[in-house]
Structure 1
Amino acid sequence: MPEKTIPILPCRTLQPVLDFYTALGFEVTYQQRSPNPYAVVERGGIELQFFAMKQYEPAVSISTCYVLTDDVDGLYQAFRAGLKETYGRIPTRGLPRVGPLKDMTYGVRQFLVTDPGGNCVRVGQRTGGERHHGPAPQETFARALHFASLLADSKGDPAGAAKVVDRALALTDETPTRVQLLQLLVLRADAAARLGDEEAAVTGLARAAALHLTAAERDQGRDALTRLADLRGSLRP
């Protein structure tokens, strides 16, 4: 058989992790309780293995892996549907959580899923031949979105992302397009929610939802609109 790489990821206890992946449509194909807790989940061609250790701290985990797919939009919608059915909402902050679907500058369209064990599973589809970062956009607001997205998603620095967006929104001599404004407001609200500032998150989402967009603009900003809906659902009492 051809070679296959299988990530083995840590967690504190297995059951919350297995329940989470079951919600995403995975099947638990193996589980061992002793002498060492261990389990395997599978969904199509994706296989993830987990081991439990009591001294593990999910909140500071840096464990990650990458899943390549030829249907990232389909997986994103399936994962969101499963999470909403299980949790009654799309979890967007804390553990577990699912991030926004975005086109990245290094030739992939991707989203991040972080499980209850703190493991970040990046799911992406290649959209171009380049596998390294292209040059940053020169236009002011495209550049702000570029760097804020990298900080929020790739680096896990929502505070840094918030600062970039705030600087862009404070400009008085330039104006973003309506789609750019939508994307900036949603990204800023996302960062605020992750930082625990619900008031700022709710305010930003209300501003974004109040934008009057044409059908073409809604299509161009569909990823941000999807994230807007998920954030509003997760912040609802």
Structure 2
Amino acid sequence: MLTDVNPKLPMRNKAITKDFYVNKLGFQEFGRADYDDYLMVQKDDIQIHFFIFKEVDPAENYGQIYIRTDDIESFYQLAKSQNISITKLEHKPWMQREFSIHDPDNNLLTVGQSML
């Protein structure tokens, strides 16, 4: 039985990635060990893992995840208040409200909430 999924995304610089997710998006570092080449962050019930990939070209990085929430407005306002690049919060034809964020390595985080 499957119980959870933790996406792994590339990062070029652990300190920059950690700062973005922890200080701008409100995640917390997760795990007991601090590995040079790996980072785990958590917010509420989700975790995102990152592995070092110094050669990743942000212009050619297509890492992406879809995050579901039950309070999109609060997370949107948090992201917006941090002066990070985000898309407009929109109602989509597939009955979701969504917005997207690109992190420092161009990983795409799309955040969505059901309108049903």
Q: Distance in 1 between matches of 2:98 and 2:105?
A: 21
Any runs of at least 4 consecutive aligned residues in structure 1 with deviations exceeding 2 A, and if so which? 78-81
Matches within 5 A, 1:36-55: 37-55=37-55
- Give the structure with the larger helix fraction: 1
Deviations 1:42-81 (A, max 9, x none): 1111210000112111122111010011111111112223
**Which residue is equivalent to 1:99?**
87
Deviations 1:199-223 (A, max 9, x none): xxxxxxxxxxxxxxxxxxxxxxxxx
Q: How many residues align?
A: 113
Equivalent position SS for 1:98: coil
> Is the contact made by 1:38 and 1:50 (CA closer than 8 Å) also made in structure 2?
yes
**Which residue is equivalent to 1:8?**
8
Unmatched tracts of structure 2, length 5 or more: none
Deviations 1:109-149 (A, max 9, x none): 01101100110011000114xxxxxxxxxxxxxxxxxxxxx
- Give the structure with the larger strand fraction: 2
Larger RCO (CA within 8 A; separation ≥ 6): 2
Match of 1:118 among 83, 87, 106: 106
Alignment-mate amino acid for residue 32 of structure 1: Y
Q: Distance in 1 between matches of 2:72 and 2:62?
A: 23
Q: CA deviation at 1:41?
A: 0.6
Deviations 1:82-113 (A, max 9, x none): x1xxxxxx23xxxxx22211111111001101
Match of 1:108 among 68, 74, 96: 96
Alignment-mate amino acid for residue 108 of structure 1: Q
Alignment-mate amino acid for residue 58 of structure 2: P
Supply the RMSD in Å over aligned alpha carbons: 1.6
Q: CA deviation at 1:2?
A: 6.2
**Which residue is equivalent to 1:71?**
71
TM-score (norm 2): 0.89
Unmatched tracts of structure 1, length 5 or more: 84-89, 92-96, 129-237
Q: Distance in 2 between matches of 1:46 and 1:80?
A: 20
* 1:56 and 2:56 correspond: yes
Q: Distance in 1 between matches of 2:28 and 2:53?
A: 22
Q: Distance in 1 between matches of 2:48 and 2:59?
A: 20
> Is the contact made by 1:25 and 1:79 (CA closer than 8 Å) also made in structure 2?
no
**Which residue is equivalent to 1:136?**
none
Larger Rg: 1
Alignment-mate amino acid for residue 15 of structure 2: Q
